[in-house]
Chains A and B, each alone.
Chain A
Amino acid sequence: MPELTYLQAISDALREEMRADERVFCLGEDIGRFGGAFKVTDGFIEEFGPDRVWDTPLAESAIVGTAVGAAVEGLRPVCEMQFADFISCGFDQLVNVAAKMHYRQGLAVPITVRLPSGGGFSGGPFHSQNPEAWMLQAPGLKVVAPSTPRDAKGLLAAAIQDPNPVVYLEHKHLYRRTKGEVPEGRYELPLGEARIAREGTDLSVIAYGAMVGVALEATEDLDGASVEVLDLRSLVPLDTDAILGSVRKTSKVVILHEATRSCGVGAEVAALIAENAFEDLDGPIVRVTAPDVPIPFSPPLERAVLPQVDNVKEACRELLAY
């Protein structure tokens, strides 16, 4: 099995879907001749031509809105937001047109919207966000956030072939830093299934995206404790069985995400556990997240805001000692 970076895996998934399925096409800013701001679509315009690799003007509403129209006519558009932050400019098309269409009109909207997300690079308040919580309040959207190259490829293929609008969060920190074995050829991983990244019995850390790696590193050698790491992979649908199963096994849970705290994924997961597994808990549900602030630019400020390995260690140690 070849070893690929997270970015290569995303690129592979997209290329293979486009080769196998002529309905699939890409649209976004600078994705054609330039190959994309992060080079996910490098070489695509040469292989697939300008009709299927559309260098759009700087117009996020147009990217998402035309994708909706093409999708209901039978195509499978894959939109790239240059940065996840810019989805705000195309938000209306996503949450009001695409998300509600099937419920209102019985008309499926099979679009994929790729969101390069996350911080850690001094990207500042407009190039570092993790906007997934915005999407969770828009019924009709599926939301996935892979953490490994293997998952990145299989989940993107599944997103493209899913009959619904799927928001695909690809964390920029993982692009070139994360490598792993990736099966050759087309394959899909089901949307809505979490993955146990490491089995454990004393405590569960629930994370997704780039924070899965942080969770694994922080708990690799934690005073001999056996820590389970659950990678959600999909936020909508949420794998409630996997979450509750892990909590029932360990009785202690830390929820970790890079996005801001209030009304985030962690809040939802905590509520789910409190409602369904209260009797199984041997300690308070703990969240490790960014505080409710914009992501600052200067490195010491950014580090202070984004969850670090040491923050996770500390939270786990406190909970283990409870």
Chain B
Amino acid sequence: MATTTARPAALDGSEDGRGLLTRDDRARLYRYMLLMRATEERALTLYRQGKVPGSYYDGHGQEAVSVGSAYALGPRDRACVLHRDLGAHLIRGVRPGRVLAQMMGRATGITGGRDGNMHFGDRHLGCVGMVSMLPDMALVACGLGLAFQIRREPRVAMTWFGEGSTANGVWHEAMNVAGIRRLPVVFVLENNQFAYSTPNDHEFAVDPVERAAGYGFPGIKVDGNDVEAVFSAAAAACERARTGGGPTLIECDTMRMHGHGAHDDMRYVPPELLEHWAARDPVEAYEARLAAAGIDTAAIQADVRAELERDTEWALQQPMPDPPTATDGVFAEVAEPLGDGEAPWSRWSPDREATHA
């Protein structure tokens, strides 16, 4: 039950999970981070052009957290994704164009205009859409895990929340229940230093990762800007959950590089803190690492740019929802459970390639 603050060992004992990641896996990790950043940058542009109603929220600077952790999920695993974690949606198979359509309130966005910005989960891809009461989804993830446990299935539920959520009582209920029943849940805590404007020292007296021990399961702290470190911790936690070992809390230390929303000028963030984290940008750092390993990052960048152009064009052509449909769908006629998501990690299709980086 020890809480560790060191980088966790990969399942095979090697550093950084490299023993688990092929060269193509690493290229994909980079691609998803880049795709998340590019999609959010495009969405922010659309917001500034007045095409995204309401406000706008993103996970700029936190790309390694959602990409690294969601990459460990298998097709039949399930995810409750937070609004800073577009990377997880992309990994499960949501296309950027549908995300942009969602942001613009179009009929073909994931929620068809019923909910905005990042409040979505494609149920066909095993995702449950978040609510604004952020710790709530930790309990929903516990319920997903409970279903796997009752049916004796080796599956995992993963959920993400900020350190802000750990101040709310619902978070305690989730951690307690997960600990009591040893539920197969991976809790990814992204400590991005601020809950809106409230800094860590106003949020808790003790680092929340330390609390895991009190609930009877491991808490692990990783560098949230190192995608392979996040992946390695998540892969180990998923394996542990799948084999009956129960839940894990992974705290990813990172920084919210944009305001809480696009309306927030972040005047409360000391400039030197932003500079410190800007020098540790997760996408740039990983690009340098892969380029040094001989991976053609420029080709990946060109590919992502082309995908975004195509998808943006598609999204801008999508219709707005039909007003009379606003009252449809309050009740379900049938209950269709969640579907399976994409799982790009080579582990789930071992014949795809075998070259290790």
Which residues of A are at the interface with B, using a C-beta cutoff of 8 A?
Answer: 25, 51-52, 56-57, 59, 61-62, 64-75, 77, 92-93, 96-97, 100-110, 139-140, 142, 163-164
Q: A105-B129, A106-B329 are in contact. Are A25 and B150 (CB under 8 A)?
A: yes
- Which chain B residues border A77 with CB–CB below 8 Å? 143
Query: Among A57, A97, A108, A163, which residue has its beta carbon within 8 angstroms of that of B177?
Result: A57
With A72-B144, A108-B335 given, can you name 13 additional A-B contacts, CB distance below 8 Å?
A51-B149, A61-B170, A65-B139, A72-B337, A73-B144, A74-B337, A93-B136, A97-B131, A102-B329, A104-B111, A105-B129, A106-B123, A110-B332
Residues of chain B in range 142-184 having any CB-CB distance to chain A below 8 Å: 142-150, 157, 169-170, 173-174, 176-177, 180
Which of B66-74, B114-122, B195-203 binds A?
B114-122
- Which chain B residues border A59 with CB–CB below 8 Å? 173, 176-177
**22 A-B residue pairings within 8 Å (CB atoms):** A51-B149, A51-B150, A52-B150, A59-B173, A65-B136, A65-B173, A66-B142, A66-B177, A69-B139, A69-B143, A70-B143, A72-B128, A73-B147, A92-B170, A102-B329, A105-B115, A105-B120, A105-B128, A109-B332, A110-B332, A140-B331, A142-B331
Q: How far is the CB of A262 from chain B (nearest CB, A)?
A: 25
Q: A69-B128, A73-B147, A107-B128 are in contact. Are A163 and B136 (CB under 8 A)?
A: no
Q: Is the CB of B173 within 8 A of A70?
A: no
Q: How far is the CA of A92 from the CA of B174 in the complex (A)?
A: 14
Q: Is the CB of A75 within 8 A of B329?
A: no
- Which chain B residues border A142 with CB–CB below 8 Å? 331
Q: How far is the CB of B124 from chain A (nearest CB, A)?
A: 9
Interface residue B283 (Cβ < 8 Å from any Cβ of A) = no
Q: A62-B176, A65-B174 are in contact. Are A100 and B131 (CB under 8 A)?
A: yes
Q: How far is the CA of A70 from the CA of B144 in the complex (A)?
A: 5
> Considering only CB atoms and an 8 Å cut-off, how many residues of chain B contact the other chain?
47
How many contacts A-B (CB < 8 Å)? Answer: 145
The 3 closest A-B pairs by CB, nearest first: A69-B143, A65-B139, A108-B332
Q: How far is the CA of A25 from the CA of B143 in the complex (A)?
A: 12
Q: How far is the CA of A109 from the CA of B337 in the complex (A)?
A: 9
Q: Which residue of B has the minimal Cβ distance to A100? A: B131
Interface residue B290 (Cβ < 8 Å from any Cβ of A) = no
Q: How far is the CA of A67 from the CA of B141 in the complex (A)?
A: 10
Q: Is the CB of A110 within 8 A of B335?
A: yes
Q: A75-B150, A105-B120 are in contact. Are A140 and B330 (CB under 8 A)?
A: yes
Q: Is the CB of B329 within 8 A of A93?
A: no
Which residues of B are at the interface with A, using a C-beta cutoff of 8 A?
Answer: 78, 110-112, 114-115, 119-121, 123, 128-129, 131-133, 136-137, 139-150, 157, 169-170, 173-174, 176-177, 180, 329-338
Q: Is the CB of B111 within 8 A of A75?
A: no
Q: Is the CB of B131 within 8 A of A73?
A: no
- Which chain A residues border B335 with CB–CB below 8 Å? 71, 108-110, 163
- Which chain A residues border B147 with CB–CB below 8 Å? 69-70, 73-75
Q: How far is the CB of A291 from chain B (nearest CB, A)?
A: 32
Q: Which residue of B has the minimal Cβ distance to A49? A: B150
Q: How far is the CA of A53 from the CA of B140 in the complex (A)?
A: 19
Q: How far is the CB of B159 from chain A (nearest CB, A)?
A: 10
Q: How far is the CB of B338 from chain A (nearest CB, A)?
A: 6
Q: How far is the CA of A51 from the CA of B181 in the complex (A)?
A: 10
Q: Which residue of A has the minimal Cβ distance to B124? A: A106
- Which chain A residues border B136 with CB–CB below 8 Å? 61, 65, 92-93, 96-97
Q: Is the CB of B174 within 8 A of A62?
A: yes
- Which chain A residues border B111 with CB–CB below 8 Å? 104-106
Q: Is the CB of A97 within 8 A of B140?
A: yes
Query: Among B78, B121, B337, which residue has its beta carbon within 8 angstroms of that of A105?
Result: B121
- Which chain B residues border A110 with CB–CB below 8 Å? 332, 335
Q: Is the CB of B128 within 8 A of A102?
A: no
Q: How far is the CA of A163 from the CA of B140 in the complex (A)?
A: 17
- Which chain B residues border A164 with CB–CB below 8 Å? 331-332
Q: A61-B170, A105-B111 are in contact. Are A163 and B332 (CB under 8 A)?
A: yes
- Which chain A residues border B177 with CB–CB below 8 Å? 56-57, 59, 62, 66
